[in-house]
Amino acid sequence: MSLLQVNNLHTYFDTRNGTVKAVNGVSFSLEEGRTLGIVGESGSGKSQTAMSILQLFQKNQRIAEGSIIFDGKEISSLGQKDLLKIRGNEISMIFQEPMTSLNPVFTVKYQLVEAIQLHSKLNKKEAVARAIELLDAVKIPNPKQMLRQYPHQLSGGMSQRVMIAMALACDPKLLIADEPTTALDVIIQAEILKLMNELKDRFSTSILFITHDLGVINSMADDVIVMNGGKIVESAPIKEIFKNAKHPYTKRLMAAFLKTDIKNYQAEETLDFYSSENEHYDFSQYKETGVADPDWVQVSDKHYVAVSLKKETNS
Ligand SMILES: Nc1ncnc2c1ncn2[C@@H]1O[C@H](COP(=O)(O)OP(=O)(O)O)[C@@H](O)[C@H]1O
Ligand SMILES: [Mg+2]
């Protein structure tokens, strides 16, 4: 059984100018202990997909259709009270800006101990000991001293470590990380990614990892879904997506990535975004409208692409 199964999710904003379909028919599943990456450029609907899971919504936002099954329970129809029980208990989230998630007026100790006590029966002293354990787990050099700090005293990398410690405080089954390293410089980013991979094994947490950066996805995810315009255009195991991308949008992302990173891939080949058309795929709808095809073709075992097959002409 999958830990998380999202079926045909539609999340809309009702605005003065009409309905914005931020998530427009997204389906995926995440197995226990695995990391699923969501990749796509800015505005493709990655964050809104993640926000939909716990309905961290604005007033004008709603799930219009679809189902979200977490740990065997349908949660898309739950109210805020029930969702709050799941949030920070079974599902934790970390975001791009750790600073905005930490409260500037309280020490790390206050916030971390509070988070721990909210989700456990530990007394104050035990909770402090647990806080130190967690800070140690996220490789903060001097945990006791860290407890006395206020958020503004921390570097970006340190505050993201504190956020990760906080997210782990409840021993979640699922960790949702939305661009958790985007605001960090590359060396710190690499350290945090390594840390997250280690923690995933140690705490056996499943991770939904969102990023616009294919390099980051490459070092984190087992499987990846590629989003464009609120839809999934391609999904595959990570190695397969790098080796054998089919959708022109995936190839375009890949080409942009290759331009900025020196990698041993055949850039030339990926630059012909529509080269898969030679393989009987019909991308004409995508070419004309920029909207992913509603049909799916299975490329190999776990590799799917949103496209229809060319009609066979009898020749
Ligand atoms: N507050 C909002 N009001 C209306 N539409 C919004 C709002 N926030 C996001 N959207 C829509 O949702 C789309 C997806 O946003 P988002 O999931 O944040 O993208 P990503 O995380 O991939 O950068 C945006 O392109 C935009 O059209
Ligand atoms: Mg986002």
pLDDT digit string, tens, across residues 121-135: 899 999 999 999 999
Rounded to whole angstroms, the Cα distance separating 119 from 158 reads: 23
Domain assignment of residue 16, yes or no: yes
Domain assignment of residue 75, yes or no: yes
- Nearest ligand by distance to the CA of 177: 2
Rounded to whole angstroms, the Cα distance separating 28 from 226 reads: 11
- Nearest ligand by distance to the CA of 41: 1
Rg (CA), the chain: 21
Ligand 1 near 47 CB (within 6 A):
yes
Best mutation site among 23, 44, 57 for ligand 1, i.e. most ligand atoms within 8 A of its Cβ? 44
Q: Are the C-beta atoms of residues 308 and 302 closer than 8 Å to each other?
A: no
Query: Any long-range contacts for 213-221 (C-beta under 8 Å, 24+ apart)?
Result: 213/39, 213/182, 213/257, 214/39, 214/242, 214/253, 214/254, 214/257, 215/257, 215/261, 216/181, 216/189, 217/37, 217/39, 218/242, 219/190, 219/193, 220/35, 220/37, 220/193, 220/196, 221/35, 221/36, 221/37
Q: Which residues contact 112 (CB under 8 A, 6 or more apart)?
A: 131, 134, 135, 147, 162, 165, 166, 169
Domain assignment of residue 204, yes or no: yes
Ligand 1 near 61 CB (within 6 A):
no
pLDDT tens digit sequence for 245-279: 999 999 999 888 876 554 555 555 546 788 887 77
pLDDT tens digit sequence for 26-73: 999 999 999 999 999 999 999 999 999 999 999 999 999 999 999 999
Domain assignment of residue 189, yes or no: yes
- Residue 239 confidence (pLDDT): 95
- Nearest ligand by distance to the CA of 56: 1
Q: Are the C-beta atoms of residues 150 and 102 closer than 8 Å to each other?
A: no
Ligand 1 near 13 CB (within 6 A):
yes
Nearest CA to ligand 1 atom 12: 22
b (16+ CB within 10 A) / e for 183-195? bbeeebbebbbeb
C-alpha pair distances (Å), 110 with each of 124, 128, 154, 156, 240: 10, 9, 15, 19, 45
Q: Kindly report the number of other CB atoms within 10 A of residue 282's CB atom.
A: 17
- At 88, the pLDDT band (50, 70, 90 cuts) reads confident
Say whether pLDDT at 159 is over 70: yes
Ligand 1 near 62 CB (within 6 A):
no
Mean pLDDT calculated for residue range 171-196: 91
Mean pLDDT calculated for residue range 236-248: 95
Axis-axis angle for helices 156-168, 124-137 (nearest 10) = 130
- Residue 279 confidence (pLDDT): 77
Ligand 1 near 159 CB (within 6 A):
no
- Nearest ligand by distance to the CA of 43: 1
Beta bridge partners of 226: 39, 234
End-to-end CA, the chain: 46
Ligand 1 near 229 CB (within 6 A):
no
- At 204, the pLDDT band (50, 70, 90 cuts) reads confident
Rounded to whole angstroms, the Cα distance separating 109 from 132 reads: 9
Ligand 1 near 228 CB (within 6 A):
no
Rounded to whole angstroms, the Cα distance separating 155 from 278 reads: 50
Ligand 1 near 42 CB (within 6 A):
yes
Q: Ligand 2 centroid to 85 CA: how many Å?
A: 24
DSSP state of 272: S
- Residue 202 confidence (pLDDT): 87
b (16+ CB within 10 A) / e for 228-245? bbbbbbbbbbbebbbeeb
Task: Return the ligand 1 atom nearest residue 210 CA.
Answer: 21
CATH classification at residue 61: 3.40.50.300
Rounded to whole angstroms, the Cα distance separating 103 from 234 reads: 38
Q: Ligand 2 centroid to 290 CA: how many Å?
A: 20
Beta bridge partners of 70: 4, 73
Which residues are in the CB-under-5-Å shell of ion ligand 2? 47
- Residue 245 confidence (pLDDT): 93
Domain assignment of residue 151, yes or no: no
Domain assignment of residue 107, yes or no: no
DSSP state of 277: G
Q: Ligand 2 centroid to 190 CA: how many Å?
A: 20
- Domain count for the chain: 1
Backbone region of residue 116 per phi and psi (left: phi > 0; alpha: psi in -120 to 50; beta: other values): alpha
Domain assignment of residue 273, yes or no: yes
Its domain, for residue 270, covers 4-90+170-309
Nearest CA to ligand 1 atom 21: 47
Nearest CA to 147 out of 127, 132, 166, 169 is that of: 132
Q: Are the C-beta atoms of residues 206 and 35 closer than 8 Å to each other?
A: yes
Tell how strand 61-70 and strand 4-15 pair up: antiparallel
Domain assignment of residue 111, yes or no: no
